[in-house]
Amino acid sequence: MKTLSYSYTEAFAQEMDQNDSLRKFREHFFFPKVNGQEALYFCGNSLGLQPKSVKDYLNKELNNWAEMAVDGHFHGEDAWYHIRKKSKPALAEILGAQEHEVVAMNNLTVNLHLLMVTFYQPTKERYKILIEAGAFPSDQYMLESQVKWHGLDPETTIIEIKPREGEHTLRTEDIVAEIKRHGKELALVNMAGLQYYSGQLFDMKAITKAAHEVGALAGFDLAHAAGNAPLSLHDWEVDFATWCSYKYLNSGPGNVSGIYIHEKYADRPDLPRFAGWWGHNEAQRFLMEKGFIPMFGADGWQLANSNVLALAAHQASLDIFQKAGIKNLRKKSELLTGYLEFLIQEISGESGILEIITPENPSERGCQLSLLIHQGGKAVFDEWYQHGVVGDWRNPNVIRLAPAPLYNSFMDVFRFAKILEQSLNKFAL
């Protein structure tokens, strides 16, 4: 990408917005208000904004329920029996997967547990799991309980790799070296795709390759990567992954998750799994007979029938993603996040108050920047909020800001910069 010369001027931000081919998508979302004014919303890494079309998508299914009741499973434009299939094209594009490798279902941690049943089969010789230190608590708790379920000790089974002394992010070569070091004992690498605290986007291709070379499997929690960072799970030969849809995928609080399972496992009925009715052979499902026969691909890991209303809200956002195009969103994301980075550095200068701990290289991050606050603590965050900035505070002293390319503008970033400049003058010692 050609290097862009940024400028801390309103005219520059306005020009960037005028030349933005994705600017119209901002109008597709509701923005919250703070103190009666439309917020500068940089918190899509926790909860994406509501698409205005969600009500129509939900009302359509509510009407189907009202007018057809149980017959809605097999009749109507989107019969509920097959409703999961509607989201597959968009999910496959976002994740860099084949349609049969993905399916929307359950919630993220539930899916992690289900995937561990299949992909974590410890032996006496090969039982260890590698994860990044400071992983999101859900992942930590999930792994601890899975390890204990197998009668193992989390302290000796789970390997937590930390950044080097004085650094905030992991080096790919250090991750690969750690994988090789534990080679014969390593059963699984189960990391985040994008680290929630630092905002670091891991090299999943290199990590997966290293894991496979020592005989281990590789799976990723893509909660902060799906809809945010470029993914090619199939080509990278990632074994499995899961994500949530309420962050960058803007599908509503706590909404449906999804799973990816590489096609090498698509027709493997011998694999251990927790089975359910909806994962059984679709053509024979209503024979109501014993003997589980899994469906082809990721669908064979389903348990219960689809949550129709959840999928309707999910689809409202996915349709917007397909219109915008994930590659177009990525191009804008790099520019928008780069502008935020430029303005923070331009304004904070040598003040020593702020430190960006997210990697500078655009290929090693998504649209999130994590700011380490050296002076003022949470008071800085609270000050920003009073001026309409909705970000995310993470203990002990990090503010996460995520300018989402689907609905944030360059003027949003410029307006934040003016608030930042004002607050630094207040908190500088």
For residue range 38-71, list pLDDT tens digits in order: 999 999 999 999 999 999 999 999 999 999 999 9
Q: What is the pLDDT of residues 138-187, one digit of tens each?
A: 999 999 999 999 999 999 999 999 999 999 999 999 999 999 999 999 99
Q: What percent of the chain has pLDDT over 90?
A: 93
The answer to the question of whether 59 is labelled as a binding residue is no
**Over residues 193-214, mean pLDDT:** 98
Are 227 and 94 in contact by the 8 Å Cβ rule? The answer is yes
The answer to the question of whether 328 is labelled as a binding residue is no
Q: Which pLDDT score is estimated for 3?
A: 63
Q: Which pLDDT score is estimated for 295?
A: 97
Q: What is the pLDDT of residues 106-150, one digit of tens each?
A: 999 999 999 999 999 999 999 999 999 999 999 999 999 999 999
State the Cα–Cα distance between residues 85 and 205, nearest whole angstrom. 27
Q: Which pLDDT score is estimated for 1?
A: 42
Are 203 and 225 in contact by the 8 Å Cβ rule? The answer is no
Are 112 and 193 in contact by the 8 Å Cβ rule? The answer is no
The answer to the question of whether 240 is labelled as a binding residue is no
Q: Greatest CA span in the chain, whole angstroms?
A: 74
Q: Residue 348: is its pLDDT beyond 50? A: yes
State the Cα–Cα distance between residues 338 and 415, nearest whole angstrom. 15
**Over residues 334-348, mean pLDDT:** 96
Q: Which pLDDT score is estimated for 375?
A: 85
State the Cα–Cα distance between residues 422 and 236, nearest whole angstrom. 45
Q: Which pLDDT score is estimated for 201?
A: 98
- In the CATH hierarchy, which top-level class contains the domain 78-322? alpha beta
Average pLDDT, the chain: 96
Q: Output the CA–CA distances (angstroms, integers) from residue 63 to 66, 76, 78, 255, 294, in the order listed.
A: 5, 11, 12, 21, 32
Q: Which fold has domain 10-50+325-427?
A: Aspartate Aminotransferase, domain 1 (3.90.1150)
Q: Residue 427: is its pLDDT beyond 80? A: no
**Over residues 79-94, mean pLDDT:** 96
Band the pLDDT of 353: cuts 50, 70, 90.
confident
Tell me the residue ranges of DSSP E strands in 90-246: 102-104, 128-132, 158-161, 186-192, 217-221, 240-244
State the Cα–Cα distance between residues 29 and 396, nearest whole angstrom. 32
Q: What is the pLDDT of residues 22-42, one digit of tens each?
A: 999 999 999 999 999 999 999
Q: What is the pLDDT of residues 389-408, one digit of tens each?
A: 999 999 899 999 999 999 99
Give the closest residue to 161 by CA, choosing from 134, 184, 137: 134
Task: Report the sign of the C-alpha dihedral through residues 384, 386, 387, 391, in that order.
Answer: positive
Q: Quick check: bond before 405 cis, omega within 30?
A: no
State the Cα–Cα distance between residues 416 and 113, nearest whole angstrom. 40
State the Cα–Cα distance between residues 368 and 389, nearest whole angstrom. 15
State the Cα–Cα distance between residues 243 and 132, nearest whole angstrom. 17
State the Cα–Cα distance between residues 48 and 32, nearest whole angstrom. 11
Give the closest residue to 119 by CA, choosing from 269, 258, 224, 265: 265
Q: How many CA atoms lie within 13 A of 294 on its CB side?
A: 19
H or E segment at 282?
none
3-state DSSP assignment of residue 332: helix
* Sequence-separated (6 or more) residues with CB below 8 Å from residue 276: 302, 303, 304
The answer to the question of whether 56 is labelled as a binding residue is no
H or E segment at 113?
helix 108-119
**Over residues 288-300, mean pLDDT:** 96
The answer to the question of whether 137 is labelled as a binding residue is yes
State the Cα–Cα distance between residues 219 and 115, nearest whole angstrom. 9
Choose between 220 and 351: higher pLDDT: 220
Q: Which pLDDT score is estimated for 76?
A: 85
Hey, how many other C-beta atoms are within 10 angstroms of the C-beta on 386? 11
Q: Output the CA–CA distances (angstroms, integers) from residue 289 to 70, 73, 91, 286, 293, in the order listed.
A: 22, 21, 32, 8, 10
φ, ψ at 289 (rounded to 5°): -105, 160
Q: Residue 428: is its pLDDT beyond 90? A: no
φ, ψ at 102 (rounded to 5°): -130, 150
The answer to the question of whether 224 is labelled as a binding residue is yes
Are 253 and 262 in contact by the 8 Å Cβ rule? The answer is no
Are 48 and 247 in contact by the 8 Å Cβ rule? The answer is yes
State the Cα–Cα distance between residues 109 and 140, nearest whole angstrom. 10
State the Cα–Cα distance between residues 286 and 241, nearest whole angstrom. 30
Q: Where are the domains of the chain?
A: 10-50+325-427, 78-322
Q: Which pLDDT score is estimated for 266?
A: 97
- DSSP character string of 3-54: -----SSHHHHHHHHHT-TTGGGGGGB---EETTEE-EE-BTTT-PPPBTTH
The answer to the question of whether 212 is labelled as a binding residue is no
Band the pLDDT of 219: cuts 50, 70, 90.
very high
**Over residues 343-370, mean pLDDT:** 93
- DSSP character string of 198-223: T-BBP-HHHHHHHHHHTT-EEEEE-T
Q: Which pLDDT score is estimated for 253?
A: 97
